[in-house]
Amino acid sequence: MNIGVLGAGSWAIALSVLLHKKGHRVCMWEYDSGAAEFLQKRRELPSKLPGVTIPQEVEIVNDIAAAVNMAQLVLCVVPSQTMRSTMQSVAKLVKPQALDKIEGWVIASKGIESGTLKLMTDVVADEIPGLGLNRIAALSGPSHAEEVSKEIPTSVVAASESHQLALLVQEQFSTMTFRIYTNDDMRGVELAASIKNVIALAAGICDGMGFGDNTKGALMTRGIAEMMRLGRSMGARDATFSGLAGIGDLITTCISKHSRNRQMGELIAQGCTLDQALERMTMVAEGVQTARSAYELSKKMNIDMPITMEVYKVLFENKPAQEAVRDLMMRESKSELWGLA
């Protein structure tokens, strides 16, 4: 198949290399002309994905229309807060006839849009004329680019309201080391993928404060409870949060040395301001903006999300991490199944 990849960061490169090895024709778009020229000449991105070579057959362009015009599938791997502007560019620069021929839009970005509080599939549907959710899929799960690019066995989930599209993604993306399951709870998969980054920030704060396994085990478990409560209020299924996009990705993101969100939390706990921590990161930590959006969404939906609330206050209200931990531990006592039964 002809696959257009929007974005050229580490995850976009890892997936582009995987798809090329699968036999697809891949055209990858980088929005920055200087970065695109660098990738064209070097065929690598050592600052984010060292040791991974981009095959010559993978076309790298700075023209978004060139990446989309001939595509049968479009893979969206841009930062969540730039998804809308990217899709606006696509709608403006790509001919309607080319957009109509695209069989599916696969969203591999994770986050909740600031302001609108919309998920990425909704943002794409908003901006691409005539596009319904039945032509959109979300690809998510425990899948660090550093490991996928080295063909370390990985399992993820492709979720879509269209079972046919989910099966298409499963067929076209699966390899001997990249196993894909299908799911029809696209909203649940997206919410899990987004909120787990906020919990990973909290896990990093725990690491930075020198806490142990007891703390992190409790944090992840109660984090799943928060994700599930929010998901249920938005029509998602509980079972999705026990799957790859939920508990699977949460565990990986909270414990991995590759996790940029965990690293961000650790920097905050060690005394960095948010701006200082962001300057030290070489890649986008999606959980930072998602913490704001998730906090606002919890208030809008009237859902109790104490971990998310405390992460928000630490990041954006300069609340000391020690106080946030104290307030979490001293909350009113409850049944473990409060809000879930």
Q: Please check whether residue 236 lies inside any domain of the structure.
A: yes
We report the CATH number of the domain holding residue 263 as: 1.10.1040.10
Shared-domain flag, residues 163 and 288: no
Domain boundary among 184, 210, 234: 184
Shared-domain flag, residues 193 and 251: yes
**pLDDT at position 340:** 67
**Nearest CA among 245, 251, 283 for reference residue 264:** 283
Catalytic residue among 196, 257, 300, 313: 196
Shared-domain flag, residues 179 and 279: no
Q: Please check whether residue 338 lies inside any domain of the structure.
A: no
Instruction: Per residue of the chain (341 residues), give pLDDT as tens.
Output: 999 999 999 999 999 999 999 999 999 999 999 999 999 999 999 988 999 999 999 999 999 999 999 999 999 999 999 999 999 999 999 999 999 999 999 999 999 999 999 999 999 999 999 999 999 999 999 999 999 999 999 999 999 999 999 999 999 999 999 999 999 999 999 999 999 999 999 999 999 999 999 999 999 999 999 999 999 999 999 999 999 999 999 999 999 888 888 998 999 998 888 888 878 776 667 778 899 999 999 999 999 999 999 999 999 999 999 999 999 999 888 888 876 65
Phi/psi zone of residue 261: left (φ > 0), alpha (ψ -120 to 50 degrees), beta?
Answer: alpha
Domain boundary among 165, 184, 203: 184
Shared-domain flag, residues 169 and 192: no
**Total number of domains constituting the chain:** 2
**pLDDT at position 282:** 62
Shared-domain flag, residues 193 and 204: yes
**Nearest CA among 140, 121, 119, 309 for reference residue 223:** 309
Shared-domain flag, residues 148 and 91: yes
**Nearest CA among 197, 188, 170 for reference residue 243:** 188
Strands 104-107 and 25-29, how do they pair? unpaired
Q: Please check whether residue 147 lies inside any domain of the structure.
A: yes
Residue 21 host element (H or E):
helix 10-22
Number of H helices, E strands in the chain: 16, 8
**pLDDT at position 341:** 54
Q: By residue range, what is the domain housing residue 292? A: 187-329
Q: Which long-range contacts (CB under 8 A, 24 or more apart) does 41-46 make?
A: 45/8, 45/9, 45/10, 45/13
Shared-domain flag, residues 230 and 296: yes
Phi, psi (degrees; rounded to nearest 5) at 123: -65, -45
Q: Is residue 196 flagged as an active site residue? A: yes
We report the CATH number of the domain holding residue 8 as: 3.40.50.720
Q: Please check whether residue 340 lies inside any domain of the structure.
A: no
Q: Please check whether residue 337 lies inside any domain of the structure.
A: no
Q: Please check whether residue 98 lies inside any domain of the structure.
A: yes
Shared-domain flag, residues 248 and 321: yes
Q: Please check whether residue 99 lies inside any domain of the structure.
A: yes
Q: Which residues pair with 4 in a beta bridge?
A: 27, 74
Domain boundary among 184, 207, 238: 184
